[in-house]
Structure 1
Amino acid sequence: MKLISWNVNGIRACHNKGAFTEFLNTISPEILFLQETKLQLDQIPPELDNPNDYYTDWNCAEKKGYSGVALFTKEKPLQIFKEIGIKEFDSEGRVIGAEYEDFLAFGIYFPNGQMSDERLNYKLNFYQAFFDYCQDLQNHYKKPLFISGDYNTAHKEIDLARPKENENVSGFLPVERAWMDKLIDTYNYSDTFRLFNTQADEYSWWSYRARARERNVGWRIDYVLADSLGLPIIKDAFICQQVKGSDHCPVGITLNG
């Protein structure tokens, strides 16, 4: 069973390139989370609304053409989660999650802190609020929990091509990296990709500028984190760098079953 997360940077644009349908047909993940769908419910292409083999659900931002997340799943979930109960976060359409018989899974579009100090604080506050919410879920459901998505932060120097040049850039600031440390050291999540892959040059996002993807000058800012209950059922973790259609590529895990 494959659980995959992909920031499509506009699902309509990705779909119009043919990349999204090709991905669904070739990779065919059992569970797929999308970020930055950038549409409203009445703008969903008909062929992407419950396509063959998939049940879909969407969480759109109140602001048009902005943010938004979606779930494509072959098994209909027991329930869907879209809100953490805080209006300033829920209005931006950043959260979608699902309960299955054996686990919980989320796809999150974490905020980008590059626009201003205000947005950086918003990002850090979102981290706090969302993972507090997850602790409540863990206490209530007592099931394995997987949190995938665009975290908008590269954790360690190995996770971007030019760490020294980006020490003062949002996405690699010490305060952002400290949050990734906290998720692993305090909240006890694991970066699933690093459980199976220790090599450098494995990235999930590239700027559209200066042929960055062609030269593999990228960042690994997309993750699937797993809590301690989830670790025993993970078989593999991977990055699909060959998949085009966005400035991000899909990342995922393979689960037993």
Structure 2
Amino acid sequence: MRVITFNAQGIEQAADRGFFDWMVQQDADVICIQDLRAKEYQLDGDRYHPEGYYPYFFDAFEDGYSGVAIYTRHLPKAIMTGLGFELCDYQGRFIQADFDKVSVASLYIPSGLKSHEAQQKKEEFMSHFMGHLKKTLRKRRDFIFCGTFNTAHRTEDLSNWYVNQTVSGFLPSERAFMEEMFGELGYVDAFREINKAERQFTWWPDYNRARTLNEGARLDYQVTTANMRKMIKNVSIYKEGMFSEHGPLIVDYDGDF
């Protein structure tokens, strides 16, 4: 089973740049998209409904905020939207599709780069989401959380990390969140389960220049429950096309959902 996660930074812009044409060619089973910057009613045209996929959206209540989506070739047993706290639900930052064996979620943790207030909201979101991760471990099924965490986990996940230790996205508190998730709680970083190399980024600011120099950060993840570790077979980051500043993260899993 192939799962893709992608931060579109505006789904209309990404579509103009050929994202959906590329998506269909990938033969993926589930595609999780973040930062739509559009409402579901604006996405009712054929270009946003490729043949063979069921699309599900969770809108932000205000324009200019996130909005997330899941496209799937398999009809889910259930769709869940939101996590029960305002910062997530009002800004459309979480949607989950439940299949027979696995639940797949599209998640967008806010950035804290704009201001101190933005960083406080990010940390509030992360605190709530950590609680959700702990509750998830009590459930008798496996999960894949796909999306933009807006945090580089370790030094190898960020260029020029030594000058970014006081910048949102690599703060000690943010890295502690990642360490708890992948350490104490036992969740799996699907990409790092296969690819251990340095400078494997999913986000490059300033488009061409940063991509050419490979100056960026690994901000996008597929985080799985521990039982799925043995199912992770192949991983890659698509870098050839520029649908947004983020590159789609592709993971192949062994078995059915």
Q: TM-score range by the shorter chain?
A: over 0.9
In the alignment, the residues of structure 2 paired with residue 14 and residue 49 of structure 1 have an alpha-carbon distance, to the nearest angstrom, of 11
In the alignment, the residues of structure 2 paired with residue 168 and residue 253 of structure 1 have an alpha-carbon distance, to the nearest angstrom, of 31
Q: Deviations 1:102-123 (Å, cap 9, x if unpaired)?
A: 1111110111011222221221
Partner of 1:199: 197
Q: Is the 8 A contact 1:143 1:229 kept in 2?
A: no
Q: 1:3 to 1:129 in 2, by over 3 A?
A: same
Match of 1:230 among 221, 228, 231: 228
Q: Is the 8 A contact 1:8 1:36 kept in 2?
A: yes
Deviation at residue 167 of structure 1 after TM alignment: 1.4
Partner of 1:150: 148
Query: What SS class does the counterpart of residue 219 from structure 1 fall into?
Result: coil
Residues 1:64 and 2:67 are matched in the alignment: no
In the alignment, the residues of structure 1 paired with residue 44 and residue 121 of structure 2 have an alpha-carbon distance, to the nearest angstrom, of 31
Tell me the TM-score normalised to structure 2 length.
Answer: 0.94
In the alignment, the residues of structure 1 paired with residue 44 and residue 214 of structure 2 have an alpha-carbon distance, to the nearest angstrom, of 32
Deviation at residue 195 of structure 1 after TM alignment: 1.1
In the alignment, the residues of structure 1 paired with residue 130 and residue 228 of structure 2 have an alpha-carbon distance, to the nearest angstrom, of 16
In the alignment, the residues of structure 2 paired with residue 199 and residue 110 of structure 1 have an alpha-carbon distance, to the nearest angstrom, of 25
Deviation at residue 213 of structure 1 after TM alignment: 1.3
Q: Is the 8 A contact 1:40 1:65 kept in 2?
A: no
Partner of 2:180: 182
Q: Deviations 1:19-52 (Å, cap 9, x if unpaired)?
A: 2122123213110000111001221151144320
Instruction: Return 5+ residue gaps in structure 1 as ranges.
Output: none
In the alignment, the residues of structure 2 paired with residue 53 and residue 256 of structure 1 have an alpha-carbon distance, to the nearest angstrom, of 21
Q: Is the 8 A contact 1:31 1:71 kept in 2?
A: yes
1:57-206 map, 5 Å: 57-140=56-139, 142-206=140-204
Tell me the TM-score normalised to structure 1 length.
Answer: 0.94
Residues 1:51 and 2:76 are matched in the alignment: no
Partner of 1:218: 216
Partner of 1:12: 12
Q: Is the 8 A contact 1:6 1:250 kept in 2?
A: yes
Partner of 1:40: 39
| Range with greater deviation from structure 2 (30-39 or 187-196) | 187-196
| Cα-Cα RMSD | 1.6
The AA in structure 2 aligned to 1:43 is Q
Q: Is the 8 A contact 2:205 2:216 kept in 1?
A: yes
In the alignment, the residues of structure 2 paired with residue 210 and residue 56 of structure 1 have an alpha-carbon distance, to the nearest angstrom, of 31
| Moved beyond 3 Å, runs of 4+ | none
Deviation at residue 210 of structure 1 after TM alignment: 7.7
Query: What SS class does the counterpart of residue 232 from structure 1 fall into?
Result: helix
**Aligned length in residues:** 255
In the alignment, the residues of structure 2 paired with residue 85 and residue 28 of structure 1 have an alpha-carbon distance, to the nearest angstrom, of 33
In the alignment, the residues of structure 2 paired with residue 54 and residue 88 of structure 1 have an alpha-carbon distance, to the nearest angstrom, of 29
In the alignment, the residues of structure 2 paired with residue 209 and residue 30 of structure 1 have an alpha-carbon distance, to the nearest angstrom, of 28
In the alignment, the residues of structure 1 paired with residue 170 and residue 157 of structure 2 have an alpha-carbon distance, to the nearest angstrom, of 10
In the alignment, the residues of structure 1 paired with residue 13 and residue 184 of structure 2 have an alpha-carbon distance, to the nearest angstrom, of 39
The AA in structure 1 aligned to 2:11 is I
Partner of 2:27: 28
Q: 1:51 to 1:25 in 2, by over 3 A?
A: closer
Deviation at residue 133 of structure 1 after TM alignment: 2.1
In the alignment, the residues of structure 2 paired with residue 192 and residue 33 of structure 1 have an alpha-carbon distance, to the nearest angstrom, of 15
In the alignment, the residues of structure 2 paired with residue 54 and residue 112 of structure 1 have an alpha-carbon distance, to the nearest angstrom, of 30
Query: What SS class does the counterpart of residue 120 from structure 1 fall into?
Result: helix
In the alignment, the residues of structure 1 paired with residue 189 and residue 241 of structure 2 have an alpha-carbon distance, to the nearest angstrom, of 21
Instruction: Return 5+ residue gaps in structure 2 as ranges.
Output: none
Query: What SS class does the counterpart of residue 214 from structure 1 fall into?
Result: helix
